Chain A
């Protein structure tokens, strides 16, 4: 079965391209549940805050639920793929929670809209950076969209910012997660 150099080159290109597609699909499949989980949390948190700002305390149990959910998702991935250990997932969640508490301790007291915009912008930026480094275009687009929409809501509709973030931020994250799951 002779094979010409051009056929060999073509086959190598196809292998490389398929590997890249498969890797992206795996990365997106790993990221999607986090986006859907946090999209639902944002929808509930911002929605409740919009209905009555006094209920903003709901963010505490929601954040804890999100942290536990994220830790569980990471540990599940660790069991399935064995690329890292389960404890690393829980340690990452713990580190993020400690960082959050530290930020709250040192930052000046921010009001609702400011704190409500700070985290989505930070998270959107994080998604964009991960997207750049992993060549994950959809994650990059999701990060840019999240940051842009948060800024738009903050400056354009400040009176309805919490409602904006519930629908556009939370809904956008859920849609982003669903989009990531599709090849």
Chain B
């Protein structure tokens, strides 16, 4: 990867992806809990999640529990792979700098 993935490179989206990574494949996390982990506002987080969903990196599932709306997110395989590639890219940058010194 010559360039970092622009979608993940954005700090809030990077945090969203990192927060979803420890979950098993397809295991969702509630929007409210994700908001606490990422430390973003509802609107900001919602917008970034939509961007990631459009890229196919996260899946968003909306339903009702006890008549209250619930939004859950999970990392897709494409998203997991993209994050792994992004982390490899970052490590390469750090390693190449270390090797030069």
Question: A residues within 8 Å of B by Cβ?
Answer: 1, 3-5, 8-9, 11-12, 14-16, 18-19, 21-23, 25-26, 29, 80-83, 183
Contact = CB atoms under 8 A, between A and B. Distances in A.
A23 B22 contact: yes
B4 A183 contact: no
A81 B14 contact: no
Contacts of A14: 11, 14-15, 18
Nearest to A11: B90
Which 7 residue pairs of A and B lie closest in terms of their CB atoms, listed nearest first? A5-B97, A18-B18, A8-B93, A183-B36, A22-B19, A8-B90, A23-B22
A19 B87 CA distance: 13
A21 B16 CA distance: 12
Contacts, number: 76
Q: Is the interface of A mostly helix, strand, loop or mixed?
A: helix
Contacts of A25: 33, 36-37
Interface residues of B, number: 30
Nearest to B32: A183
B13 to A, nearest CB: 12
Q: Give the residue among A9, A18, A29 with the most B Cβ atoms within 10 A.
A: A18
A82 B24 contact: yes
B91 A12 contact: yes
Contacts of A183: 33, 36-37
Nearest to A18: B18
Interface string B32-43: 010011100000
B37 A5 contact: no
A5 B93 contact: yes
A83 B87 CA distance: 24
B9 A22 contact: no
Contacts of B98: 5
Contacts of A81: 23-24, 27
Nearest to B15: A18
Interface string B67-101: 00000000000000000000100110110111000
B94 A22 contact: no
B4 A18 contact: no
B24 A15 contact: no
Given A1-B3, A1-B6, A18 B94 contact: no
Given A81-B27, A82-B27, A183-B36, A8 B22 contact: no
A19 B75 CA distance: 13
Contact of A3 (B11, B23, B24, B93): B93
A22 B93 contact: no
Contacts of B22: 19, 22-23, 26
